[in-house]
Amino acid sequence: MRWTTYAIAIPLGLFLLAANIEPVAAQQRSDAARPTVSRPIHEERDAMTNTVFSATVDDHNNARITVKAGDFTLEKAVASSGDTTIRLAQGADVVSVAMNQGGYLVERKQKSARFNPQSGKPEDMDTIRAVLLGSQAVRTFRQLTASFEARENNDGEGPLFLSTLVDGAIVQMLDGDSGAAERVGKRITRKRRAGLQPARMRAGEVFTDCVMNYELSLMEAWDLLYECTATTFTLNWFFWWGAETFCEFEFFLRSQQYIYQFFSCFAYPF
């Protein structure tokens, strides 16, 4: 059974992977010899908060997403593996969150902190919160995504809106909100589960709904998070905190992979 495997793999994995995070592959690199290519841009707008979401791909096959709300900007680069760099900026305050298979690396000003969800300790999260302490960019982003979460009407919420909700959960979790992953996972799927049905195709027809595939993938990620978290309670209490953190990390990493797959589905020139 899949979750029997989880019950065995999670506690073992908590101590095996070294916490060594380097800047993810989704970082911009100089390549002057490469010819300039016109890239398509996918854009969404949220009228209630006057937020603009835009996305494209770069010359290194990374999906790049930008979110602008007033003087706040989020810039995200995502590789096909799910390796992600999130940059929050407001005025002179800049925060960078890198996430890959080794965990998280958080940087602000001259400070940095790492957290490996498979071998880290609660004290590591305290160090990360200390780096984020007093950040106006983090505060603004948390307020923005909290307003997204609180909405009752889900009409018009596109993939970039949902992706930003996931990014908000990552930042909230790193900033001390232990319930962010579960809360946002429920928020993303609560009205879509009943309404989304795979399209029935007639013989010979070929059709792909990229948005529906993305939303169905997010629901699968939430189901896996729920089952993984439930499995942690079958373990010895000593492993609970680390195992639950591991489950949340897998949810976040899967969600980043799925936003990358969304752009691939649109046949962007990767």
Question: Whose CA is closest to 6, among 186, 180, 185, 234?
Answer: 234
Contact between 148 and 128 (Cβ < 8 Å): no
Neighbours of 186 (CB within 10 A): 13
Residue 253: half-sphere exposure toward Cβ, Cα within 13 Å? 18
228 versus 72: the higher-pLDDT residue is 72
pLDDT in tens, 95-138: 999 999 889 999 999 999 999 987 778 888 899 999 999 999 99
203 occurs within a structural domain: no
| Domain boundaries, position 110 | 2-22+38-195+208-265
Q: What is the pLDDT of residue 214?
A: 75
Per residue in 166-213, pLDDT (tens digit) is: 999 999 999 999 888 888 888 877 666 555 554 444 444 444 567 777
Give the separation between CA 218 and CA 88, rounded to whole angstroms.
Answer: 23
201 part of a folded domain: no
Domain presence at residue 189: yes
For residues 217 and 211, give the distance between their C-alpha atoms in angstroms, rounded to a whole number.
10
Domain annotation covers residue 28: no
What mean pLDDT is predicted for residues 83-95? 97
**What is the number of alpha carbons within 13 Å of residue 183 lying toward its C-beta?**
16
- Inform me whether the pLDDT recorded for 22 exceeds 60: no
Question: How far apart are alpha carbons 243 and 10 in whole angstroms?
Answer: 6
- Would the CA dihedral through 138, 66, 96, 247 be positive or negative? positive
CA distance 177 to 14: 21
More confident residue, 69 or 212: 69
Half-sphere exposure of 224 (CA within 13 A, CB side): 19
Average pLDDT on 70-93 reads 95
Domain count of the fold of the chain: 1
Of 86-90, 183-187, 266-270, minimum mean pLDDT range: 266-270
**Percent of the chain whose predicted confidence (pLDDT) is above 90:** 35
Parallel/antiparallel/unpaired status of strands 103-108 and 72-78: unpaired
What pLDDT shows up at residue 265?
A: 74
Instruction: List, for residues 232-242, the tens digit of each pLDDT value.
Output: 655 554 444 55
Give a yes or no: residue 153 inside a domain.
yes
Asked whether residue 33 is assigned to any structural domain, the reply reads: no
Tokens of residue 120, six digits: 């880290």
Which pLDDT does position 230 carry in this prediction? Answer: 65
Higher-confidence position of 37 and 119: 119
Please tell me the distance from the alpha carbon of residue 86 to that of residue 155, in angstroms, as a whole number. 26
pLDDT value, residue 211: 73
- Average pLDDT over the chain, rounded to whole? 76
Residue 112 has what pLDDT? 96
13-17, 190-194, 222-226, 251-255: range with highest mean pLDDT? 251-255
More confident residue, 103 or 255: 103
Q: Let me know: does 250 contact 22? Beta carbons within 8 Å.
A: no
Q: Which residues of 203-232 are buried (b: 16+ CB within 10 A; e: fewer)?
A: eeeeeeeeeebbbbbbbebbebbbebbebb
- For residues 144 and 204, which has the higher predicted lDDT (pLDDT)? 144
Q: What confidence tens digit (pLDDT) does each residue in 145-157 have?
A: 999 998 877 667 8
User: What average pLDDT score do residues 159-171 get?
Assistant: 92
Closest CA to 181 of 122, 129, 224: 224
Q: Is 130 helix (H, G, I), strand (E, B) or coil?
A: helix
Q: Does 11 map to a domain?
A: yes
